[in-house]
Amino acid sequence: MAETAGMTDTKRATGVLASSGHPEAADRRDAGEASADGAWDLAEIRAQFPVLSREVNGHPLAYLDNAASSQQPLRVLNRVERYLRQQHANVHRGVHQLSAEATAAYEGARHAVASHAGTTDPAEIVFTRGTTEAVNLVASSWGDAFIGAGDEIVLTKMEHHSNLVPWQLLAGRTGCVLRFVDVTPGGRLDLDDFDRLLGKRTRLVACTHVSNSLGTVNPVREIVDRAHAAGALTLIDGAQAAPHMLTDVAKTGCDFYAFSSHKMCGPTGVGALWARRELLEEMPPYQGGGEMISDVKLEGSSWARVPHKFEAGTPNISGVVGFGEAARFLADLGSEAIASHEDALKCAALDRLGEIEGLRLYGPREERTAVFSFTYGDIHPHDLSTILDQRGIAIRAGHHCNQPLMDHYGLSATARASFYFYNSPREIDVLCDGLALAAEVFGGLA
């Protein structure tokens, strides 16, 4: 597998400053725009996302902050509205019509999300508030029950704080030891280091599928196999993978997989934990309350069957309904079509960003998604982001909840442009022109 340097500091002349200047607003509208791969009706797809046609600061929005949160199509918005207007009631406990409809919508969403996750058993899907809560659920429930002092958990230096801090808290409670797989200069996991860290005391390997800062797609199947061979379970943080790689989740062979709705065209505040059913069966409840019980006496209680054992209290019903519709929407688009368009965008963006002198791109060239973290000369990423925002371009700047990874590269922050299937090749031009403007505003690059 080819690997580029972690920091791609291009030496070629940019040409960006001399490029055709800022496009006219009309040029930046995407109606009728051809796809990078030709087969994808991008204008039709974009028309399904109302927010993509708005202007920001007098410019058509170029939304390139999809790794933080993606936009929602009309189909999801309409489904949530229909639920709220016509079907709202509490789930599971009513015999009246509305409750039956709300329950059918909620459990129907579980089927859709299960199908997205590549499992035929919807009971293996636990709805949570998102990836963060899914990891916390495993750390609290499985961790408190099965991890003791001296046990080891192997993480990596590229984990989002959501897949780090819950394990630090577990270590504080139990005395278990956290070990961290190194990241190569090229932005990949050091698998030799991984083998060195796996030992008799390793109980769990928890690792991200796709890095939210570097875009690196980790070889999770290989990691899972090596972890299993060492007798450890595996948790994969799929927050950045599930939006792009449909039905791949079970194929990883892992034991736990966490993902969020709002990064895959669904509402915020909802996500899922997929886990092998037998693990869910043997894990104690995460939270106590209504919905998660079978029988309650003053002296003690018994638990509902999975997955309800882990869904205490009234859930985020409208969020789950929207999540389910988002999963159906992605399935209808088709994973191959999504991947093909995103791949074309990724290659084009890598080429264009690679031509900009003074721009340092982090992460590998191959086996990556269209998430681009970069620094540009000595312009602070927040200043970059502010300048781009004035042109209607939404990117992110900061540590991206990856502080240990930033420390690894000796950085406090990067700028990050992240693309999704509804982005256009033209938005790559818009981004590059915005960067040229930033270079002008900051009077040349160091």
Please say which residue, 60 or 130, places its beta carbon nearer to ligand PLP: 130
**Choices 36-44, 126-134, 167-175, 385-393 (CB under 6 A): range interacting with ligand PLP:** 126-134
Please say which residue, 211 or 375, places its beta carbon nearer to ligand PLP: 211
265 in active site: no
Write the CA distances from 397 to 28, 85, 240, 433, integer angstroms.
23, 38, 17, 18
Residues 6+ apart with CB under 8 A from 185: 5, 6, 7
Cβ atoms 236, 245 nearer than 8 A: no
Please report whether residue 267 would count as binding ligand PLP according to CB under 6 A: no
Please report whether residue 381 would count as binding ligand PLP according to CB under 6 A: no
Please report whether residue 132 would count as binding ligand PLP according to CB under 6 A: yes
How far is Cα 276 from Cα 217, in angstroms, rounded to an integer?
23
Q: In angstroms, what is the minimal distance from the CB of 132 to ligand PLP?
A: 3
Q: In angstroms, what is the minimal distance from the CB of 166 to ligand PLP?
A: 11
**Choices 70-78, 111-119, 129-137, 362-370 (CB under 6 A): range interacting with ligand PLP:** 129-137
Closest CA to 400 of 412, 387, 383, 384: 412
Please say which residue, 40 or 310, places its beta carbon nearer to ligand PLP: 310
One of 8, 35, 103, 208 touching ligand PLP (CB under 6 A): 208
Helix or strand (DSSP H, E) at 429? helix 425-441
Please report whether residue 237 would count as binding ligand PLP according to CB under 6 A: yes
How far is Cα 216 from Cα 214, in angstroms, rounded to an integer?
5
**Choices 40-48, 155-163, 177-185, 379-387 (CB under 6 A): range interacting with ligand PLP:** 155-163
Closest CA to 59 of 381, 385, 389: 389
Write the CA distances from 320 to 109, 130, 236, 267, 285, integer angstroms.
6, 11, 21, 8, 20
Please report whether residue 212 would count as binding ligand PLP according to CB under 6 A: yes
Any idea what the Cα angle at residue 405 is, between residues 222 and 423, rounded to 5°? 80
One of 6, 60, 73, 130 touching ligand PLP (CB under 6 A): 130
Please say which residue, 72 or 162, places its beta carbon nearer to ligand PLP: 162
The DSSP symbol for 356 reads S
The DSSP symbol for 87 reads I
Bridge partner residues of 275 (DSSP): 256
Count the residues of the shown chain that bind ligand PLP, applying the rule CB under 6 A. 13
Closest CA to 270 of 97, 145, 430, 129: 129
Site for ligand PLP in 25-84 (CB under 6 A): none
Please say which residue, 29 or 209, places its beta carbon nearer to ligand PLP: 209
Closest CA to 129 of 320, 324, 274: 320
Please report whether residue 260 would count as binding ligand PLP according to CB under 6 A: yes
**Choices 125-133, 145-153, 183-191, 435-443 (CB under 6 A): range interacting with ligand PLP:** 125-133
**Residue among 176, 207, 401, 432 flagged as catalytic:** 401
- Residues contributing to the site for ligand PLP (CB under 6 A): 130-132, 160, 162-163, 208, 212, 237, 239-240, 260, 271
Could you list the active site residues?
401
